[in-house]
């Protein structure tokens, strides 16, 4: 029996074939035709600049097989593709079709213009004067109506993406989206919302569970914002989504066995992150329409779970009425977040039962704002707060409430201190991705460690206290201090991506002490810090991406000396256990690598592909190593 005679194997193979390969496979025999035909039309694209578009007749014939339909640019027969596809769940309209209108001078817009506005005499566009061409507003209205018809003819639609459609806006379109029974996800990019359409627009947005609003042009003014309810969010009863497309929340990651962090005793974790079961769920599903009406009485965005936006000044109005919110991302855009809106809306925010993912890079947010957001989250999982005012208050909430559940954490912030970075690395066992600025070697090797008065146990020193300062003097390392301690081991052994600027020798880098004893002590200090830094990195055996770079661009002399990645004089061999590593980045650091180190990396890291940074500060040597790297990369 031939292996491809088994239908399940053909189904699996079909997932990896492109349309051309699927078409060839269909010609083998009838069984193969039956297997591969649904995969050929499962995702169908109609692109204005392509000469290989399916005909309208083909679309209509295989409409029952189409699950995802993409219409890109201004197609000549858009209305011909507005056919019922009973299994269509994703519709994508991208490409600025008005550019075609502009390029044709309003008279060469193709078959759609001819069918809608053609003269009775000639089919040629030359038989029409420029004055007879429809206005942009008229064409936009007709185009929006065509899209609305396409939406209404496909009641199983779940996801819609409108990308770079600046003029595709009408009340009819937004009403069609609001009334679509299965629609739960909208992705809107580069759209213009007219003042008269804002009520219908917000109504359509309020019915979604996943909402992306990027580069939208919304009218300014209180009348065009989402309405604020008179009652606070805390007065709302917990409501569960009534659609089948709701996503259950995964449980928080369990810490590795045998690992007990210093913060574990102070954590206040919920017993479960799964929404409570509704004993009347069957009745709720049977009365979805009634429930939806009741939900609107309580919160406008009562079904919203994932929000991704930029350039919208009223985002807090949305999240303040989204009790089921679990992920909020604010992307950097051209429109700043008005500080008055932050101050107005923050008092309205109440704890969110399922809010776990936060990606918000806003310079306007200070330490108190971020503290409030983190305090309202439940078992935070993915947190990105780069370039915000994250500070001591935010750090305290993060350590007390979220260390055991964090999976991804980005903290490129001015106020984040080195000892806070070390505290997170020693307290977050489930961490898989971590980005921060500078980690000093003094966090891993502590010099001149004082002891508590009346105590001989130096381990009782509270190194995390903001009042404690390490003794960085050479005399402290040479023995005048009370001792040298090693920092706590990192507990994030499942880390897959790490971005840090490792700075050794700390504040002593600028010292110009010619005393041989002092120089020997400083070199010993550097060697000890480097040894224990590499030892911590070597324990991260799941690491796939290691970036030891100066992400903020601060001068090296301010930070300290970088890790030495050489095999001779450095400790590159210590990183041999990192066999999963595929990317290493040492951009902005000072290295003295040659072909020997490069060959060592290829030999010990079999998955390695990307090496980024200056290999050697000597231009001649660096050019030689780069050439060897490119040649070896071709072999990969």
Q: Where are the beta strands (DSSP E) in 523-622?
A: 545-548, 583-585, 610-612
Whether 626 shows a pLDDT value over 90: the answer reads yes
pLDDT of residue 516: 62
pLDDT per residue over 48-82, tens digit each? 777 788 888 888 888 888 889 888 876 555 666 77
- Predicted confidence at residue 179, as pLDDT, reads 94
Give the distance from CA 275 to its chain's centroid. 24
Q: Give me the pLDDT at residue 542, please.
A: 97
For 27-95, the DSSP string reads TS-HHHHHHHHHHHHHEEEEETT-S-PPPHHHHHHTGGG-SEEEEES--TTGGGG----TT--EEEEES
pLDDT of residue 34: 81
Asked if 613 and 622 count as a contact pair (C-beta separation under 8 A), the reply is no
How far is C-alpha 284 from the chain's CA centre?
33
The region of weakest confidence among 85-99, 203-217, 218-232, 376-390 is 218-232
pLDDT number for residue 289 = 44
Q: Is the dihedral of CA 289, 294, 297, 300 positive or negative?
A: negative
Domain ranges of the chain: 1-47, 50-120+132-224, 308-378, 403-455+462-635
Tokens of 90: 């994703």
Report CA dihedral (200, 158, 147, 313) to the nearest 10 degrees: 40
Pick the CATH number of 403-455+462-635 from 1.20.120, 3.40.50, 3.80.10, 1.25.40: 3.80.10
Look at 78-87, 523-532, 593-602 and tell me which has the smallest mean pLDDT: 78-87
pLDDT score at 3 = 64
Q: Which residue has the tokens 């994250």?
A: 390
Asked whether 69 and 79 are in contact (CB, 8 A), the reply is no
Q: What is the token pair recorded at 20? A: 């051309």
- Radius of gyration, CA atoms only, the chain: 30
Q: Report how far residue 303's alpha carbon sits from residue 209's, in angstroms, rounded to the nearest whole number.
A: 5
pLDDT band at residue 606 under the 50/70/90 scheme: very high
Phi, psi of 449 (to 5 degrees): -70, 120
Neighbouring C-alpha atoms within 13 Å toward the C-beta of 193: 25
State the DSSP code for 347.
G
More confident residue, 136 or 391: 391
Residues 6+ apart with CB under 8 A from 348: 228, 232, 233, 316, 320
The share of the chain scoring above pLDDT 70, in percent, equals: 67
Q: How far apart are CA 398 and CA 589, in angstroms?
A: 30
What are 241-279's pLDDT values in tens digits?
Answer: 333 333 333 343 443 333 333 333 333 333 333 334 343
Q: What are the distances in angstroms from CA 462 to CA 395, 492, 522, 585? A: 17, 22, 25, 34
Which residues, 6 or more positions from 466, have their beta carbon under 8 angstroms from its beta carbon?
Answer: 392
Task: Tokens for 588, please give them.
Answer: 């902005």
Confirm whether 50-120+132-224 and 403-455+462-635 share one CATH topology. yes
Contacts of the segment 262-271: beta carbons below 8 A, 24+ positions apart: 262/426, 262/427, 262/488, 263/399, 263/400, 263/403, 263/427, 264/404, 266/399, 266/400, 267/400, 267/401, 267/403, 267/404, 268/400, 268/401, 269/379, 269/401, 269/404, 269/405, 270/378, 270/379
Mapping DSSP to helix (H, G, I), strand (E, B) and coil, where does residue 528 land?
helix
pLDDT at 59: 84
pTM: 0.74
pLDDT band at 406 (very low <50, low <70, confident <90, very high): very high
Q: In CATH terms, is domain 50-120+132-224 a member of 3.10.20?
A: no
pLDDT for the residue numbered 557? 45
d(CA 634, CA 159): 40
Percent of the chain with pLDDT over 90: 32
User: Any residues with CB less than 8 A from the CB of 392 and at least 6 apart, and which?
Assistant: 367, 415, 466
For 298-308, what is the mean pLDDT?
87
CA distance 478 to 475: 5
Average pLDDT over residues 438-443: 88
Q: What is the pLDDT of residue 492?
A: 96
The CA-atom distances, in angstroms, between 433 and each of 64, 385, 411, 493, 620 are 42, 13, 11, 11, 36
Write down the pLDDT at residue 588: 83
Place 513 in a pLDDT band, splitting at 50, 70 and 90: low
- Of the candidates 143, 141, 186, which has an alpha carbon nearest to the alpha carbon of residue 163? 186
Q: Phi first, then psi: give them for residue 415, nearest 5 degrees.
A: -85, -5
Mean pLDDT of the chain, nearest integer: 74
433-440 and 583-585 as β-strands: parallel, antiparallel, unpaired?
unpaired
């Amino acid at each position: 029996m031939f292996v491809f005679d088994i239908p399940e194997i053909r189904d699996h193979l079909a997932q990896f074939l492109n349309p051309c390969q699927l078409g060839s496979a269909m010609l083998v025999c009838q069984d193969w035709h039956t297997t591969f035909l649904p995969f050929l039309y499962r995702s169908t694209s109609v692109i204005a600049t392509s000469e290989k578009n399916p005909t309208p007749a083909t679309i209509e014939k295989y409409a029952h097989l189409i699950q995802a339909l993409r219409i890109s640019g201004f197609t000549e027969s858009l209305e011909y593709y507005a056919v019922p596809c009973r299994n269509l769940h994703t519709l994508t309209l991208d490409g600025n079709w008005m550019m075609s209108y502009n390029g044709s001078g309003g008279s060469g817009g193709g078959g759609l213009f001819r069918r809608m506005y053609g003269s009775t005499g000639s089919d040629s566009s030359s038989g029409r004067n420029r004055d007879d061409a429809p206005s942009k507003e008229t064409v936009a209205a007709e185009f929006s109506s065509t899209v609305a018809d396409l939406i209404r003819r496909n009641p199983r639609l779940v996801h819609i993406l409108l990308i770079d459609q600046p003029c595709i806006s009408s009340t009819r379109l937004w009403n069609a989206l609001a009334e679509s029974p299965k629609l739960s996800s909208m992705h809107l990019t580069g759209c213009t919302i007219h003042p008269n359409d804002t009520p219908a627009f917000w109504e359509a947005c309020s019915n979604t569970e996943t909402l992306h609003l990027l580069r939208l042009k919304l009218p300014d003014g209180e009348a065009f914002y989402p309405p604020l309810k008179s009652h606070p969010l805390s007065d709302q009863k917990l409501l569960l989504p009534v659609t089948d497309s709701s996503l259950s929340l995964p449980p928080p990651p369990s810490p590795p066995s045998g690992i007990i962090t210093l913060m574990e005793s102070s954590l206040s974790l919920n017993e479960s992150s799964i929404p409570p079961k509704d004993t009347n769920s069957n009745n709720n599903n049977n009365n979805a329409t009634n429930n939806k009406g009741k939900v609107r009485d309580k919160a406008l965005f009562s079904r919203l779970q994932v929000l991704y936006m930029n350039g919208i000044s009223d985002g807090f109005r949305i999240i303040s009425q989204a009790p089921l919110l679990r992920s909020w991302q604010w992307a950097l855009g051209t429109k700043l977040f008005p500080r008055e809106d932050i101050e107005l809306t923050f008092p309205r925010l109440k704890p969110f039962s399922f809010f776990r993912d936060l990606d918000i890079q806003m310079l306007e947010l200070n330490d108190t704002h971020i503290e409030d957001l983190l305090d309202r989250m439940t078992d935070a999982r993915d947190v990105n707060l780069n370039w915000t005012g994250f500070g001591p208050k935010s750090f305290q909430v993060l350590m007390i409430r979220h260390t055991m559940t964090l999976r991804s954490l980005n903290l490129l912030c001015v106020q984040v201190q080195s000892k806070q970075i070390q505290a997170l690395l020693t307290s977050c066992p489930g961490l898989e991705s971590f980005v921060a600025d500078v980690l000093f070697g003094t966090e891993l090797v502590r010099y001149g460690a004082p002891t508590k008065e009346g105590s001989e146990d130096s381990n009782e020193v509270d190194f995390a206290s903001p009042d404690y300062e390490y003794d960085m003097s050479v005399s402290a390392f040479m023995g005048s201090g009370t001792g040298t301690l090693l920092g706590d081991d990192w507990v994030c052994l499942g880390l897959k991506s790490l971005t840090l600027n490792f700075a050794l020798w700390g504040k002593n880098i600028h010292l110009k002490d010619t005393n041989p004893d002092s120089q020997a002590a400083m070199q010993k200090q550097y060697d000890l810090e480097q040894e224990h830094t590499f030892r911590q990195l070597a324990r991260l055996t799941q690491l796939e991406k290691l970036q030891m770079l100066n992400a903020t661009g601060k001068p090296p002399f301010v930070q300290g000396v970088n890790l030495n990645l050489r095999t001779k004089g450095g400790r590159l061999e210590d990183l041999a256990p990192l066999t999963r590593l595929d990317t290493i980045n040492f951009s902005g650091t000072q290295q003295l690598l040659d072909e020997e180190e490069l060959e060592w990396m290829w030999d010990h890291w079999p998955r390695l592909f990307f090496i980024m940074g200056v290999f050697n500060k000597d231009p001649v040597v660096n050019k030689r190593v780069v050439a060897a790297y490119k040649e070896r990369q071709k072999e990969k």
